[in-house]
Amino acid sequence: MKTNITYHRASTTEELNQILKLQEENLRGLVSDEIKKKEGFVTLQHDFEILKKMNDACAHCIVKYKGEVVGYALSMLKEFQNDIPLLVPMFIQIEKAIKEQNLSSNYIAMGQICIDKKLRGQGAFRGLYNYMEQELKNDFDAIITEVDTKNIRSSNAHKAIGFELLKNYISNNQVWEVIILKL
């Protein structure tokens, strides 16, 4: 792993803008099929306003290298479940899974995770989730997210650090895995 990597909670406009830049560079519609298969992708593009509102409620976890944001994990409280239409089905499925499996409803949704390609495979993904877990474990019982089943790299990476499958569902002609990391 590269030295000088640090983990933080996002706190500045500059950091939020760097998250948006990294997000845009990795959008499913903008990367080649080869990159999607080998490196993964992100599905959703946030705007600054919603990203900042989410951050103000529970600051996003970020990875920095040489002063630049090179990775992020977005924190999304349940109160935002209707603010991003593409994520409404995820929250519905999370709530169903919680009831069906009698799980704690005190969770945070990880709205999206991305590591810059220059740091992939060097432990930054695991480090970011370890940092997120340490930062949030006193306030939440679990981190829950979803992964597009076509994003095999992301699915495997999440399972490798301890996420477990809650359920699969179909939304917008995509098959999603709802996964949980108990804190």
**What's the CATH number where 108 sits?**
3.40.630.30
Quick one: pLDDT band at residue 3, thresholds 50, 70, 90? Answer: low
Print the domain residue range for 10: 5-182
Q: Which of 33-37, 75-79, 149-153 comes out lowest in average pLDDT?
A: 33-37
Q: How many residues does the chain have?
A: 183
d(CA 124, CA 2): 9
d(CA 61, CA 173): 30
What's the number of domains the chain is made of? 1
Q: What is the mean pLDDT of residues 37-41?
A: 67
* Contact assessment for residue 61 and residue 135, using Cβ atoms and an 8 Å cutoff: yes
Average pLDDT, the chain: 90
| pLDDT for the residue 2 | 58
How many Cα atoms occupy the beta-carbon half-sphere of 63 within 13 Å?
29
| pLDDT for the residue 37 | 65
